[in-house]
Amino acid sequence: MAPESAPLPETLAELAGMDPNSVPVMILMSLIGAALIGTLMMTNTALAGPWAKRKITAAFTDRIAVDRIGPFGLLIIVADSVRLLSKELIVPEGVDRPAWDLAPLLIASSALLGFAVIPMGNGLHLADPEVGLAYVFATASMASVGLVMAGYASNNKYSFLGGLRAVAQNLAYEIPLILTGASVVIFAGSLQMSEIVAAQSQTLIGPLPSWYAFVNPFAFALFMIANLAEVGRNPFDIPEAPTEIVAGYQTEYSSVYFVLIYLGEFIHIFLGGAIIATIFLGGPAGPVLPGIVWFLIKIWGVFLFTQWARSAVPRVRIDQLIEIGWKGMLVLSLANLLLTAVIVGVIA
C-alpha cells in the first residue's frame, strides 16, 4: 500500500501554489512544516508537564490537584510558564561553560528531531527517508550525550553520578530496544516508517488489525519495558533518583535550563510513545476518528502507562538494572529477533 499522502512540505507547497520541485521553496516549506510539528509536540508537552502529570499523579494518590485557575485548572500551564521563566538562572561557580549550556539544548532538541520521520496521519509527516527507523533511534539516543554533558559539566558530584548512571543505563537498554525494533523491521521488510505503518494495515483475525503489538506481543512487551528505561521513568529512573542522588544530572540547573531539560524529558516520553505507536500500534490507524487523533491517543496512552508505572513500581538498584539489561533484556531481545527471523523466513 502506498503512503497515505505526500510528505508535509509538498502538501504545503501545493497549498501555497508554489512549485514543489524548486529547492528554495522546499527548504522554506520544510521549515514551516517542522515548525508546525514542533509546535504540536511542544503543545502536548506543555499540557503534559504542568497539568496532566499533576492531574494523573493526583488521581493515583487520591488527591484533587490543580483546579483553581481556568477550566479544570488548565491555565496553570500559563502560570507555571511565567513562574519558571521569571526565575533567576543560577550559573554555579566552576561549571564547564559551553558544555553546561549546550546540554539542555541537546536534551530538548534531540527528541524533537525524531518526530521528523514519524507519520502522524492526515499528511502530518515531515519526511519519509528509507532509513526512518534507524534515524529515530539515532536521534533519540543523542539525548544520552546531553545527559553526560550535563552530568560532567555541572561540577557537582550528584550530577556526575547521575550522568554516569545515565550512560550505563542507556547502554544497557538501547541495544535491546533496537534489537526489538529490528524484529519489526524483519516483519515489515523495510526501515521506512510509512512502509512499516502500511504493513500493519491488514487485519489479523476478525476485526483485530495486524498491528505488530498483536502479531508479536512478546516483542511489544520487551519494547515497552526497554522504552521505560530509555526515557528514564520508574522503575528505571535511576539517573535522576531523587532520594539517592538528589536530581542526578539536572541538580545544578535552574530557570530556563531546567525547563528545557524538563521539556526534553517529556518530549522524550512522547517520542518513545510515537515510536511505539508507529512500529507496534499501526501508527495513525484507527476507526472513525482522523489519524492524527488516533496517533495522539496512542502516544498519550504510552505517557499514561509511564505515569501508572511510576505510581506503583519501586526503583531498581543500578547494579540490578544493569543485570536486567545485559543478562535479561539483551538475551530475550536476541531470542526474539532470531525467532522472528526464522518464522518470517519459513512463512515467506
Q: What part of residues 155-174 is at the interface with another protein (CB under 8 A)?
A: 157-158, 161
* Residue found by looking up cell 499501526 in the block: 282
Question: Is residue 319 a contact residue for another protein (CB under 8 A)?
Answer: yes
Question: Is residue 148 a contact residue for another protein (CB under 8 A)?
Answer: no
Q: Letter for the amino acid at 51? A: W
- Max alpha carbon distance in the chain (Å)? 64
Question: Is residue 72 a contact residue for another protein (CB under 8 A)?
Answer: no
Question: Is residue 93 a contact residue for another protein (CB under 8 A)?
Answer: no
Question: Is residue 244 a contact residue for another protein (CB under 8 A)?
Answer: yes
Cα–Cα dist 109/156, whole Å: 24
Inter-residue contact 308 to 319 (CB < 8 Å): no
Name the minimum Å distance from CB 127 to another protein: 37
Question: Is residue 63 a contact residue for another protein (CB under 8 A)?
Answer: yes
Residue from 246, 297, 330, 334 binding another protein (CB under 8 A) = 246
- DSSP code of residue 203: B
Beta strands in the chain (DSSP E): none
Inter-residue contact 154 to 307 (CB < 8 Å): no
Question: Is residue 309 a contact residue for another protein (CB under 8 A)?
Answer: yes
Size of the site for another protein (CB under 8 A): 36
Residue from 16, 301, 308, 342 binding another protein (CB under 8 A) = 308
Sign of the four-CA dihedral 5, 9, 12, 13: negative
3-state helix, strand, coil in the chain (%, to 5): 70, 0, 30
Q: What part of residues 181-240 is at the interface with another protein (CB under 8 A)?
A: 234-235, 237-238
Question: Is residue 87 a contact residue for another protein (CB under 8 A)?
Answer: no
Residue from 149, 199, 310, 337 binding another protein (CB under 8 A) = 310
Of the two residues 57 and 190, which places its CB atom closer to another protein in the complex? 57
Residues within the interface to another protein (CB under 8 A): 56-64, 67, 157-158, 161, 234-235, 237-238, 241-246, 308-320
